[in-house]
C-alpha cells in the first residue's frame, strides 16, 4: 500500500508520546514493504531523514515556537495565509504521492479548514483517535464543557475533586444533529470511543478499537526486582514518569506525600518526578507546591529518559504513581506494568481498561490525594498484595505489544478488518 500519514508533529520534533508512536508505526509499516509518506509541520525546526519514509515538513502549526503551551498569536490576515498554505501543501502532496489511504493521527494546533480539505479527499481515510482532537475541531462546545466539568477545576481550585468519568456523560444532551466522520475511526480505548459517541459523532462509516502497544523484550525473572520487600529498609521510593503537565496530575502525587508520611511515620518517603520540563509554568507551580508543603529534598525532578531505559528505571522504585486527570490510553502505564513495578493509577479514562484494582494495580479516585495515599499505604503494608499486583500487572501488560498493534492497524489500512 501507499500510505500517507498526517500528523501535526513528527520526530525529531516531539512533545508527547503519540508523535513518537506515529513514527514507530510508520517505520514498522515501511519495514513491512509499504510505501510510506508523512505530511507534518515545520514546527521545531529539526530535520531528520528516515529510511523508506518521505517526510514533508511544510505545514504551518498554530503554536508558539519553542513554547508550545503558550497560546499562539497572529493577525487574522496571517492566519488566513497560513491556512491557505496548509490546504495547498496537502493537495499538492496528495496529488504527487497518490496514496491508497490517508492515515490521520493528530491535528491539534492546526485548523478545521485543513481537516475539511482532508475529508474531501477521494482516498480512503483512517483517523487515529488517541485523544479528543477531532471533537475539539467539530464539537468544541462539548469538549470545553467536558474539561470544565471533569478535568479542569477552574475557579474551584485545582485540588478539588474533579467529578465523574467520561462514561457518565453518555446520554448527556448534545446538539441534535450527529457529526459524521468522513472516514473510518480507530480508537485507542473504549473510553475514547464512548467519549466520541457522547459528543455526537456518527461512527456508522466504520470504527474499531486498537489498543496501544509497546516494544517488550523477553526478560529473565532475575531482571525483575523482588517485590516482597521495599528496596531499602524504612524507605519508600515513589516514582512519577510522564509528561509534566497539569492534565497528568503530578500535583496530586505531591499533595499525597504529607498524607503518606503521616501514615508511615517510620519511613522516609521520597517522590521522583521524571519527564519533559517544557511546561515551565506548571513546573514552577509544582516547585511552589513542594515549598509550601515543606517537602524540600523529598521531591526530586529529573529529565525524561529514553524508552529503552524505562524498564531499568522502574526497577529502581517501590511504587509507580500515575495520577492523570484525563487519560485516553497510556504507553507509559503499559511500560510500568510490564516492568513489574507496583502501580497506583487514577480511575479515569483508559486506565481502568488496563489496571484492575488489587489485581494488576491499584486504582484511586482522580485528583483525590487522600485516596491515592490510602492505596499507596496498602501496597506498603501488604507484601502479598504488592507481589500480586507486580506479577499480575506484568502478565496482563504482556498482551499490549507493539507488534500486535501494528498488525491490527495494517489490516485496517488494507480494509480487511
CATH topology agreement for domains 2-214+402-413 and 221-397: yes
Question: What pLDDT, on a 0 to 100 scale, did the predictor assign at position 55?
Answer: 97
Structure-block grid coordinates of residue 369: 490525594
Residue 280 has a CB neighbour count (10 Å cut-off) of 12
Binned at pLDDT 50, 70 and 90, residue 16 comes out as confident
Q: What is the pLDDT of residues 49-77, one digit of tens each?
A: 999 999 999 999 999 998 887 889 999 99
Question: What pLDDT, on a 0 to 100 scale, did the predictor assign at position 166?
Answer: 32
What is the three-state SS of 38-53?
A: EEEECCCCCCCCCCCE
Pick the CATH number of 2-214+402-413 from 3.40.50.360, 3.30.390.50, 3.40.50.300, 3.40.50.2000: 3.40.50.2000
H helices present in 166-323, as ranges:
190-198, 250-263, 280-292, 310-314
Q: What is the pLDDT of residues 135-168, one digit of tens each?
A: 988 888 898 888 888 886 433 333 333 333 333 3
Beta bridge partners of 322: 345
Going by C-beta distance under 8 Å and a sequence separation of 6 or more, which residues neighbour residue 269? 235, 236, 238, 257, 260, 261, 298
- What percent of the chain is predicted at pLDDT more than 70? 93
Rg (CA), the chain: 22
Q: Among 315, 348, 156, which residue's Cα sits nearest to residue 249? A: 348
Q: What is the pLDDT of residues 226-265, one digit of tens each?
A: 999 999 999 999 999 998 999 999 999 999 999 999 999 9
Q: What is the pLDDT of residues 278-301, one digit of tens each?
A: 888 999 999 999 999 999 999 999
Between CA 7 and CA 39 the distance in angstroms is 7
Question: What pLDDT, on a 0 to 100 scale, did the predictor assign at position 23?
Answer: 96
Residue 170 has a CB neighbour count (10 Å cut-off) of 11
pLDDT, mean of residues 85-98: 97
**Cα separation values, 65 from 41, 45, 62, 183, 266, Å:** 12, 9, 9, 32, 48
SS3 85: helix
Binned at pLDDT 50, 70 and 90, residue 199 comes out as very high
Beta bridge partners of 128: 186
Within 68-217, strands assigned E span 101-106, 124-129, 179-180, 184-187, 201-202, 207-209
Going by C-beta distance under 8 Å and a sequence separation of 6 or more, which residues neighbour residue 379? 318, 319, 342, 344, 362, 385, 386, 389
Cα dihedral 221→226→228→229 (10° resolution) = 180
Q: Among 399, 401, 392, 271, which residue's Cα sits nearest to residue 340? A: 392
Domain boundaries, the chain: 2-214+402-413, 221-397
- CATH 3.30.420.610 for domain 221-397, yes or no, is no
Structure-block grid coordinates of residue 129: 483517535
Within 88-137, strands assigned E span 101-106, 124-129
Question: What pLDDT, on a 0 to 100 scale, did the predictor assign at position 393?
Answer: 97
Structure-block grid coordinates of residue 76: 487574522
pLDDT, mean of residues 257-274: 97
pTM of the full predicted structure? 0.85
Say yes or no to pLDDT of 277 above 90: no
Amino acid at each position: 500500500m501507499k500510505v500517507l500519514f498526517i500528523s501535526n508533529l513528527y520526530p525529531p520534533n516531539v512533545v508527547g508520546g503519540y508523535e513518537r508512536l506515529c513514527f514507530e508505526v510508520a517505520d514498522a509499516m515501511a519495514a513491512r514493504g509499504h510505501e510510506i509518506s508523512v505530511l507534518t509541520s515545520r514546527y521545531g525546526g529539526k530535520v531528520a531523514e528516515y529510511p523508506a519514509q518521505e517526510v514533508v515538513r511544510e505545514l504551518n502549526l498554530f503554536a508558539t515556537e519553542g513554547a508550545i503551551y503558550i497560546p499562539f498569536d497572529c493577525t487574522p490576515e496571517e492566519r488566513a495565509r497560513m491556512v491557505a498554505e496548509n490546504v495547498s501543501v496537502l493537495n499538492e502532496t496528495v496529488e504527487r504521492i497518490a496514496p491508497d489511504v490517508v492515515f490521520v493521527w493528530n491535528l491539534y494546533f492546526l485548523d478545521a479548514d485543513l481537516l475539511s480539505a482532508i475529508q474531501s479527499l477521494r482516498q480512503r481515510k483512517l483517523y487515529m483517535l488517541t485523544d479528543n482532537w477531532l471533537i475539539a475541531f467539530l464539537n468544541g462546545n462539548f469538549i470545553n464543557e467536558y474539561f470544565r466539568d471533569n478535568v479542569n477545576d477552574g475557579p474551584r481550585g485545582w485540588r478539588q475533586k474533579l467529578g465523574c468519568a467520561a462514561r457518565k456523560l453518555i446520554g448527556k444532551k448534545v446538539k441534535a444533529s450527529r457529526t459524521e466522520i468522513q472516514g473510518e475511526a480507530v480508537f485507542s480505548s473504549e473510553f475514547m470511543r464512548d467519549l466520541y459517541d457522547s459528543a455526537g459523532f456518527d461512527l456508522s462509516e466504520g470504527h474499531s478499537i486498537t489498543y496501544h502497544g509497546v516494544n517488550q523484550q523477553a526478560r529473565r525473572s532475575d531482571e525483575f526486582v523482588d517485590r516482597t520487600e521495599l528496596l531499602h529498609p524504612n524507605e519508600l521510593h515513589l516514582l512519577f514518569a510522564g509528561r509534566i503537565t497539569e492534565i497528568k496530575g503530578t500535583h496530586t502525587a505531591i499533595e499525597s506525600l504529607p498524607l503518606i508520611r503521616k501514615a508511615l511515620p517510620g519511613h522516609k518517603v521520597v517522590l521522583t518526578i521524571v519527564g519533559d520540563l517544557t511546561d515551565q509554568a506548571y513546573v514552577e507551580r509544582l516547585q511552589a507546591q513542594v515549598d509550601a508543603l515543606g517537602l524540600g529534598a523529598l521531591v526530586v525532578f529529573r529529565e525524561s529518559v529514553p524508552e529503552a531505559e524505562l524498564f531499568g528505571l522502574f526497577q529502581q522504585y517501590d511504587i509507580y504513581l500515575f495520577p492523570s486527570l484525563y487519560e485516553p490510553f497510556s504507553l507509559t502505564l503499559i511500560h510500568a506494568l510490564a516492568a513489574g513495578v507496583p502501580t497506583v493509577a487514577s480511575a479515569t479514562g483508559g486506565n481502568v481498561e488496563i489496571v484492575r484494582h488489587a489485581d494488576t494495580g491499584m486504582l484511586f479516585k482522580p485528583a483525590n490525594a487522600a485516596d491515592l495515599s490510602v492505596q499507596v499505604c496498602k501496597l506498603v503494608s501488604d507484601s502479598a498484595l504488592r507481589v500480586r499486583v507486580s506479577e499480575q500487572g506484568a502478565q496482563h501488560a504482556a498482551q499490549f505489544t507493539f507488534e500486535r498493534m501494528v498488525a491490527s492497524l495494517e489490516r485496517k489500512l488494507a480494509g480487511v478488518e
